[in-house]
Structure 1
Amino acid sequence: MSTIQSLQPHLLWQWFAQLCAIPHPSHHEEQVAKFMLDWAKQQGLYAERDEAGNVLIRKPATAGMEDRKGIALQAHLDMVPQANEGTVHDFTKDPIQPYIDGEWVKAKGTTLGADNGIGLASAMAVLESTDLAHPELEVLLTMTEEAGMDGAKGLRPNWLTSPIMINTDTEENGEIYMGCAGGLDANAEMPVELEANSFTHSYQLVLKGLRGGHSGGDIHTGRANAIKVLARFLAEFSQKQPHFAFGLSDIRGGSVRNAIPREAFATLHFNGDVAQLKSAVEKFEILLQQELALAEPSLTLTLAETAKTTHVFNHHSTQTVIHWLNSLPNGVIRNSDVVEGVVETSLSLGVLQTTETKVHAIILIRSLIESGKEYVQSQLQSLTEMLGGHVAFSGNYPGWAPHSDSEIMQLTKTLYDEVLGYESVVKVIHAGLECGLIKEKYPNIDVVSIGPTIHNAHSPDEKVHIPAVQIYWELLSKILANAPKK
């Protein structure tokens, strides 16, 4: 910890080090929320939690800033828990282990939690600072953003008093976000019928080494979805080798709904020639390595003998599951006609699990427009129900519509250009931010989003750029010191 605590700005990195030491994956933020609340009360600041568990801390304006509009700094308390295969890490108990690698801070074998831990740390650093000029300040820390935006959905009305809000969840230096996609969760189930396992061979097919990443911010990059790739192999093998009968007993992949799956597994049982299956796997691995040489340079597809199960999916269920997964739409559906270079609508098959009676898929749909979500929803429902399955939709949250006349956006752009020495870029993004939900409760609040460069969020390759954190801190300090007059 002492290594990152030595970085500048000191207070921000000190708070981030404390955050890394407190486990806070989605649905397990209680410890860190209580820590923030207790610290604020010890400082004599107003601090309270609402019915959803969100934390709100208030700090009075510094001398001479009383005539400026109040500003709320907003961050979320949770992080995405992802670990590399072979890394033993209990995210509910074990601390994140950050380290410095050149100009970057990374974590040993796991997600770093810079998303949104750097933003959270910056807000706490502002509260603790004694030499920053700022107007009346509110810090809003929300619960369970990464797993459904529960805190923003349950945010207490008439609680925030600030007319301006700075969301700290942007992940690219030099960019200002003024709009984002909305989202919808799809929980799809395909029933399976079991029969006694009369097969002689049992093997597990393992796809590993994919890059994964953020299912919104990285959905357009060509990174492969491990579940979809595995389904493709099984479908093509079935079609090319129709006399090679096999049954599945398990198929799974991914671990969180908003990350592109990096690994997938399928357990096959068969009587056929093992060498025939191994040859098909080896050829398909070579094909994938050629197709995805740039996007997925570390991809591996292997076959290993495994224990025999007592039951397997019958032939019909095996083929239905394979063709369902192979046919499910995934990735970019449409690019925006309104905002150049931005994905309008996408979906990502994030998690696949097998129980005795069904295969369950968790899919996250994103779109800048409501009709985009509705279109994909209809596609998923048609395909799944046609094959005898069922899909339920939940967790719908709105996008954040951009407003070009935003006072705080214009101020932020002017100051950002000064800090950078070149022009910053105002963008609408495909990833989901809490701003749209917060604006539902506070329609008149003027919102902008900023943050430092964070690469590979939602994956164990996550890293934050140290120089960009310094730039972000300088910008945040300037915005606070130049808050608009009331």
Structure 2
Amino acid sequence: MNQLAATKASPIWHFFSQICAIPHPSKHEQALSSWIQHWANEKGLAIEEDATGNLKISKPATSGMENRQGVIMQAHLDMVPQKNSDTVHDFTTDPIRPYVDGEWVTAEGTTLGADNGIGMASALAVLDSDDIAHGPLEVLLTIDEEAGMTGAFNLKPDWFEGKILINTDSEQNGEVYMGCAGGVDANLNLPIERKAVTSKEAALALSIRGLKGGHSGCDIHLGRGSANQLMGQLIRHLSQQFDIELVTVSGGSLRNAIAREADATLRIDADKQTELSEAAQRFFAQHSKLLAVQEPSMALTVEQTETTALPFTESSATQLLNLVCALPHGVIRMSDSIEGVVETSTNLGVVTTEESNVSIQCLIRSLDDTGRQQVADQHAAIAALAGATVSFDGAYPGWAPNTDSVAMTTVRETYQSLFGSTPNIMVIHAGLECGLFKAAYPDWDMVSIGPTIKFPHSPDEKVEIASVDDYWTLLQGVLKAIPKAA
């Protein structure tokens, strides 16, 4: 990472390296928050923490910029904790290990946290600088964006004075976002019964690995496989050919990440093990062809194992497999008004087996609240047919585009001046916090920018070095170009 000290965006990399050194997964941001508060106090910056854990850092305007409109730079403190199955890492205690890989920065076997660590680092870099021109500046760092948007939900009114908010949570250089999807969590619970005894002599462990996963909003249109969906289809197929007993099934770890891995344990007659294994590989090979372009590394292993757990009853296993196979996953509808943008989607994120129930977590997203409700109703209907219950929580609104936005116009014109081309003005199919901010600050004029980040929410996450340079150049130019206050 030392070689990044020679880049234009070296101030960002300086702070990003320090952010990576402090564990900060969702729900565990306090260590990073404390470090930032200590740093701000040493810099003589005014910093406050609200009852929820959000941070506000204020910095006066630089000389000659006192009459500009006040700006809030915003990022979230937390990161998504995802790792490869063969990576030993505790996100609550171990630092992220970033390294330069050609034109990119990535991490060793885990998510990098460029989402939203680069944006957070850029805010700290502006606060730290003595030579970046800006008007009255406030920085908002929210908690728990990735796991529930707790900070945004509980942002108190009348805390900030600025009127223009720059969200730093976008992930494509050359794109300016002025709207985003809303979402809701669908939590399904299926009660299960287990047999008192098992007549099957052998146990087999099925594991699906090698899928790319990724962000359930930004990457959902790419057609990547869901390990949860694949595992459900595989076991259901096998149950129609063999007399099997299902012991456990699990997959995914976050409702906002496409499931990369899934596992299941089956019991079967000892003399049928080889035949079942071969049938499973044939079925998986067929599906591998369907996903060959998007998932070239997907693989299935079937191995003998030991288990003392009792299997599901036949009726419980049938209910579960029908439920998993019936639940939708992926793009539901593309937008009619914005070409190439997903309007509505759903992610079959997490499947967890416990002693007497199986829980399933899905995340439904839509640019339209009616579309979101339609898919939620679909989940409820499927759950009812399978004998499961469903609850919906964490609903958040979308961020409706404002075609008269001064913030968007300033970013667009600054980009054109700096780079000689027009940025794409976009609506993103992801849950930015901007829509929630409108509840406490309905008059905020908001825009979202950021560098190019690939495969967020997965261990393949990486950020393009050159795009961080461009983002840093654009951010400084925008701050300097903010118009005068009315």
Q: Give, in angstroms, the shift of residue 458 of structure 1.
A: 0.4
Quote the residue 1:249 is aligned against: 247
CA separation of 1:159 and 1:462: change in aligned 2, threshold 3 A:
same
Q: How does 1:237-386 map to 2 (within 5 A)?
A: 237-239=238-240, 241=241, 244-271=242-269, 273-386=272-385
Q: Under a length normalisation based on structure 1, what TM-score does the superposition of the two structures give? A: 0.98
Q: Is the 8 A contact 2:349 2:361 kept in 1?
A: yes
**In the alignment, structure 1 residue 57 sits paired with structure 2 residue 27:** no
Quote the residue 2:237 is aligned against: 236
Q: How does 1:434-473 map to 2 (within 5 A)?
A: 434-473=433-472
Distance 1:8 1:247 in 2: 59
**In the alignment, structure 1 residue 213 sits paired with structure 2 residue 214:** yes
Q: Give, in angstroms, the shift of residue 5 of structure 1.
A: 4.5
Q: Compare 271-280 and 56-65 and name the one that shifted more.
A: 271-280
- SS at 2:463 equivalent: strand
Q: Is the 8 A contact 2:164 2:407 kept in 1?
A: yes
* Structure 1 residues without counterparts, runs of 5 or longer: none
**In the alignment, structure 1 residue 222 sits paired with structure 2 residue 223:** yes
Deviations 1:261-289 (A, max 9, x none): 10000100112611220111221232122
Q: Give, in angstroms, the shift of residue 4 of structure 1.
A: 4.2
Quote the residue 1:83 is aligned against: 83
Q: Compare 404-413 and 266-275 and name the one that shifted more.
A: 266-275
Q: Percent identity among equivalent residues?
A: 51
Q: Under a length normalisation based on structure 2, what TM-score does the superposition of the two structures give? A: 0.98
**In the alignment, structure 1 residue 2 sits paired with structure 2 residue 2:** yes
Q: Give, in angstroms, the shift of residue 450 of structure 1.
A: 0.2
Deviations 1:27-81 (A, max 9, x none): 0000111111121121111100111100000000000000100100000000000
Q: Compare 271-280 and 65-74 and name the one that shifted more.
A: 271-280
Q: Is the 8 A contact 1:419 1:471 kept in 2?
A: no
Q: Give, in angstroms, the shift of residue 6 of structure 1.
A: 4.9
Distance 1:324 1:387 in 2: 6
Q: Is the 8 A contact 1:197 1:309 kept in 2?
A: no
Q: Give, in angstroms, the shift of residue 260 of structure 1.
A: 0.3
Quote the residue 2:160 is aligned against: 160
Distance 1:400 1:279 in 2: 49
- SS at 2:302 equivalent: strand
CA separation of 1:226 and 1:419: change in aligned 2, threshold 3 A:
same
Quote the residue 1:191 is aligned against: 191
Distance 2:354 2:41 in 1: 47
Q: Compare 351-360 and 264-273 and name the one that shifted more.
A: 264-273
- Between the two proteins, the alignment pairs up a number of residues equal to 483
Distance 1:310 1:149 in 2: 37
- SS at 1:313 equivalent: coil
Quote the residue 1:105 is aligned against: 105
Q: Is the 8 A contact 2:53 2:142 kept in 1?
A: yes
Q: Give, in angstroms, the shift of residue 157 of structure 1.
A: 1.2
Distance 2:40 2:481 in 1: 25
Q: How does 1:382-421 map to 2 (within 5 A)?
A: 382-421=381-420
Q: Is the 8 A contact 1:177 1:449 kept in 2?
A: yes
Q: How does 1:3-152 map to 2 (within 5 A)?
A: 3-152=3-152
Q: Is the 8 A contact 1:5 1:17 kept in 2?
A: no
- SS at 1:437 equivalent: helix
Q: Compare 230-239 and 294-303 and name the one that shifted more.
A: 230-239
Distance 1:328 1:157 in 2: 39
Distance 1:5 1:261 in 2: 36
Deviations 1:188-228 (A, max 9, x none): 01111011222111001110000000000000101000000
CA separation of 1:226 and 1:181: change in aligned 2, threshold 3 A:
same
Distance 2:47 2:295 in 1: 46
Distance 2:8 2:110 in 1: 24
Q: Is the 8 A contact 1:201 1:308 kept in 2?
A: no
Distance 1:392 1:245 in 2: 34
- SS at 1:140 equivalent: strand
- SS at 2:311 equivalent: strand
